[in-house]
Amino acid sequence: MRNWMRVFSIGLALILILSPTTLAQQPVELQFWTPFTGPDGAYMERMVNQFNEEHKGEIEVELFIIAGGADYITKLALAIRTGAPPGVVILSPNDYIRFLNNLTSWTSDELLDTYGLDVADFSQNVIESVTRDGRVYAIPLGTYCLGLYYNIDHLVEAGLEPRAPQTREEFLEYARKLTVDRDGDGTIDQWGWYSFGGWPFRVLWQWYTLLFQNGGSLLSSDGKRAAFNSPEGVSALEFFVDLIHKEKVAPRDPADPEEAFRVGMLSMHVNGPWMINLFKEQPDLNWAVAPVPVLGESRVVWGDAHLMCIPKQSEKTTEAAMTLVKWLSDNSIEWAKAGQVPVRNSIVNSDEFAALTEQYEFSKQLPYVRFLPQTERLAEIESVLLEYMDAAYLGDMSPADALEEVAYEVDDILSRR
Amino acid sequence: MGATKKKRRDLTALFFLLPYMVFFVVFILIPLIHGLILSFQEWSLLSDPIFVGLDNYIELLGVRRFKAAVQNTLMFALQSVPLLLVVPLLLALLLNKTFVGQKLAQNAIISPFLIPSSSVLLLWIWMLDSQTGMINQAFKALGLPGQAWLSRQGSAMGVIVFVTLWWTAGFNIILYLSSLQDLPQEFYEAAAVDGANRWQQFWYITLPLLRNRMLFITTLQVIGSFKLFDQVYILTGGGPAGSTRTLAFYLYETGFRDFMFGRAAAVSWYMFLMIALFGILQARFLNRWLGEGV
C-alpha cells in the first residue's frame, strides 16, 4: 500500500514537472562559434542578444568566443567528427575549405527563393571566393583589408600636407621627414613607419599587398608550387627590410607598432579596420586612415573575410542557423561599427555606413581587394614565411635567400598528399 | 593455509590497485595502442583513416623540418642536461651550509619550479621584450645595446635553456639536498683526520656518493628535454627560422595545425625510440660506470 502510494506520487510529480515543457514549443538551441577575442567580441555579443530578444521562444543562440588559430580549427573538426557541430561557425576563407564536405551549401536560387538572400547584393569577389561549382558554401559576414593610419599632428609638424601619401616616393618622403628625435637626446623617439613586432601576421599582410601590387602572386596558378620567390616577391620584401636598414625610418629591433602609434611614437601605421575603435578611445590622438598607398605598380590590397558557415546537421537546427545567418547579414551595419567592412552592397552604399568615416575609407578599397589563393596548407605556408621573414627583417638573411628557403619548404609542403 | 592467506592478500592488493589500473588502461594503455595503429594510417580527423603501412615513418625521414627538429631537440638536451646537472648541485652545496638568510635563499631559488609554465613564461616574455623589457632596460642603463632576445637565431635557444634552468633547477636542488643530508659524516671526519682539504673531500667523498642521484637526474633530464614544448610554444613558436622547433612542437604542428594525425603519431614513436635508445645505452654503460653510491 505504502509502496503503491509512493509510485503514484512520484509519477504525479513527474507529470507536473514535464508537462509545461512538452506543451510549450521548446526553442531551438544553437551554438554560434566565433574567434572574436578582441574588442569586436562585445559588438557580436550585443547583436546576438538582440537576435535572441527578437526570436524569444523560437531560437536561443549561445555565443562562443574561442581564440582563433590551430586550436579553433581542431575543436571544430572534433565537434564535427563527434556529431555535435556548432549551429553556425565563423571561418576564414582559408579555413572553410578544409571543411567543405561537412558544410551546408546552397545554389544562389535556393538562397534567394527560400531565404531571401540575394547573392547579387554581395561584394562580388567575396561571394566568388565561397562559391564552388555553382554552390555557395558560406555567407560572408564582413571583410577586412589593410589601411594606412596616420597621425595628423605629426604630418603638420613636419610641414607635410595632412593627407595620406599616395605613391612610393611620397611614402618614402613622408617616412623620412616623420622620423625625428623630438627631445634632442640623440635617440629617435618618433618613427616614420614600422611594422615589425607585436602581432606577427601584419608583416605578412603588408608583404602580400606589395607582392600583389608588383604583379606577383603567392602560388603558381595550379596551386602546386611557390611563386613568391620571384623578382616581384623579393623586391617587395626588400622594400620593407630597407626601410629598417637603409632608410632607417624604422627601429632595428622588433617593437609593437600598435602601441607606438597609440601613444604618438609612430606616425604611419598599416593595419586592419579593427584598430579604429582602439585608436578612437585614445585621448589627444589626432589621426585618420586612408587606403594603402601604391608602393608597387598597381592598386591592390590584401584582404580577408569572416564567413558564416553552417556545418551539416539536423534540418531543424539548419533552419534555425540560417535564420541567424540571414539576420546577422541583414544587420551587418551593426557589425561594421565594430570596425569591419560589410559585404552587402545595399549596406555599403547606405548613408548610415558612409557616416562611419573610417570604415568607409576602408570600403573604398573593396573593388580591388585581393584574397590569398585558397589552400588547406596556408597555415603551414604562413608559418614558414613568418619564420624566415623574421630573419630577413633582422638583417640575418637577405630577402632573396630567405624567400628561396621558404619556397623550398613550401614546395615540399604542397607536394604532400 | 599459507596459500589462501596469500591469495586473499593478493586480492586485497588488486583491489587497492584497481582505481589506478582503470586510469592506466583508459588514459595510457588504450591511447598507446591507438597511437601505434594511428601511426600506420593517414587521418585528417574529418575523413576516415586510411591504412598506409610504414609510409608515415619513411616520409618523415625526408622532411627537412623533422630532421631539424631532431637536431634542435638534441642540441637542447646537450645544453640543458649538463647545466641542470651541475648548477643545481653547486646551489645545493651552497644551500646545505648554514648562513644568515639561508632559509630565504633556499625558498627563493627552489620555488620557481612550483609555478605553472604559462605564468613563468609570460613573465619572461615580458622581461625579455626588446623595447620595454626589464632586461634590456637594465642593459641600457649599463650602456650596453639592447637585444632582441627571442628573435635572433643565435640567442633564442640559449634563452630557452636559461629560462628552463631558472624554472626547473629547484626540483633537482631538492633531490640533491636530500642526498647531501643523508651522507655519512664519519667519512668526512676520517678524511679530515687524514688531512684531506675541502676540495679533496668533495671530489673523493661527496661526488662519488652522489653518483646514483646524478644518474637519476640525468635520466629525468634527458626525458624532460625530449618533451620540451611549453617554452617553445609560448616563447618563440618554433622560430626564429625554425631554430627552436623541437620534436614535441613539430608533433603538435603536424597533428593539430596541419591535421596529419598519422604522421604526428609516427613522430611520437620516433621520440619514444630515441628515449628508449638512451635508456638502453644508459643501462649498458652508465650504470656499470657509476656503480656505487647512496
DSSP characters over B223-251? HHHHT--HHIIIIITT-STTTT--HHHHH
Q: Is residue A21 part of a domain?
A: no
For residue B24, the model assigns a pLDDT of 92
CATH code: domain B56-289 is 1.10.3720.10
Residue window 118-157, chain B: list those with CB within 8 Å of chain A. Answer: 130-131, 146-148, 151-153
A173 min Cα distance to partner chain B (Å): 26
Residues of B in contact with A250 (CB under 8 A): none
CA–CA separation, B273 and A52 (whole Å): 55
On whether the CB atoms of residues A63 and A34 are closer than 8 A, the answer is: yes
CB contact under 8 A, B130 and A99: no
B256 in contact with A at a CB cutoff of 8 Å?
yes
B211 in contact with A at a CB cutoff of 8 Å?
no
CB atoms within 10 A of CB B288: 8
Q: Verify that A252 and A386 share a domain, yes or no.
A: yes
Q: Verify that A251 and A135 share a domain, yes or no.
A: no
For A394, the closest of B42, B152, B237 (CB atoms) is B152
CA–CA separation, B40 and A145 (whole Å): 43
CA–CA separation, A269 and A344 (whole Å): 28
Three-state DSSP at A193 gives strand
Asked, as a colleague might, if the bond just before B240 is cis with ω within 30 of 0, I would say yes
Residues of B in contact with A256 (CB under 8 A): 131
Residue of A204, A253, A262, A312 best to disrupt the B interface, most CBs of B under 10 A: A253
For residue A16, the model assigns a pLDDT of 56
Mean pLDDT calculated for residue range A306-319? 94
Q: Verify that A264 and A381 share a domain, yes or no.
A: yes
Domain boundaries, chain B: 56-289
Q: Nearest residue on chain B to A416, judged by CA atoms?
A: B59
For B148, the closest of A101, A253, A380 (CB atoms) is A253
CB contact under 8 A, B257 and A70: yes
Residues of A in contact with B152 (CB under 8 A): 394, 396
Residue A111, all three cell numbers:
538562397
Q: Verify that A291 and A334 share a domain, yes or no.
A: no
CB atoms within 10 A of CB B56: 24
Q: How remote is the C-alpha of A227 from its chain's centroid? A: 24
Kindly report, residue by residue over B33-61, the tens digit of the pLDDT.
Answer: 999 999 999 998 888 899 999 999 999 99
Q: Verify that A136 and A158 share a domain, yes or no.
A: no
Across the A:B interface, residue pairs with CB atoms under 8 Å apart total: 77
Q: Cα–Cα–Cα angle for A338, A339, A342, nearest 5°?
A: 95
Number of domains in chain A: 2
On whether the CB atoms of residues A259 and A141 are closer than 8 A, the answer is: no
User: What is the H or E stretch that residue B95 is in?
Assistant: helix B64-95
Residue A232, all three cell numbers:
616581384
A254 or B123, greater pLDDT: B123
CB contact under 8 A, B257 and A397: no
This prediction has a pTM of 0.80
> Which of A361, A372, A353 is CA-nearest to residue A305?
A372
Kindly report, residue by residue over A195-242, the tens digit of the pLDDT.
Answer: 888 888 899 999 999 999 999 999 999 989 999 999 999 999 999 999
Q: Verify that A122 and A227 share a domain, yes or no.
A: no
Q: Domain of A411?
A: 147-300+375-415
Kindly report, residue by residue over B162-191, the tens digit of the pLDDT.
Answer: 999 999 999 999 999 999 988 888 888 888
On whether the CB atoms of residues B290 and B215 are closer than 8 A, the answer is: yes
Mean pLDDT calculated for residue range A75-87? 92
Q: Verify that A266 and A158 share a domain, yes or no.
A: yes
Residue window 8-47, chain B: list those with CB within 8 Å of chain A. Answer: 42, 45-46
CB contact under 8 A, A101 and B46: yes
CB atoms within 10 A of CB A59: 21
CB contact under 8 A, B253 and A256: no
Q: Which residues of B186-207 are buried (b: 16+ CB within 10 A; e: fewer)?
A: ebbeebeeeebeeeeeeeebbe
Mean pLDDT calculated for residue range A155-160? 94
Q: CATH code at A185?
A: 3.40.190.10
Q: Verify that A346 and A379 share a domain, yes or no.
A: no
Q: Nearest residue on chain A to B132, judged by CA atoms?
A: A255
B73 min Cα distance to partner chain A (Å): 18
Q: Verify that A153 and A222 share a domain, yes or no.
A: yes
Q: Which residue has the cell 599616395?
A: A166
What is the pLDDT of chain B when averaged over all its residues? 88
CB contact under 8 A, A81 and B153: no
Q: Which segments of B80-195 are extended strands (E)?
A: none
On whether the CB atoms of residues B271 and B226 are closer than 8 A, the answer is: yes
Residue of B72, B128, B144, B153 best to disrupt the A interface, most CBs of A under 10 A: B153
Q: Is residue A84 part of a domain?
A: yes
Q: Verify that A157 and A287 share a domain, yes or no.
A: yes
For residue A8, the model assigns a pLDDT of 64
Mean pLDDT calculated for residue range A315-340? 94
On whether the CB atoms of residues A235 and A248 are closer than 8 A, the answer is: no
- Look at strands B41-42 and A139-145 and give their pairing: unpaired
Q: Verify that A400 and A261 share a domain, yes or no.
A: yes
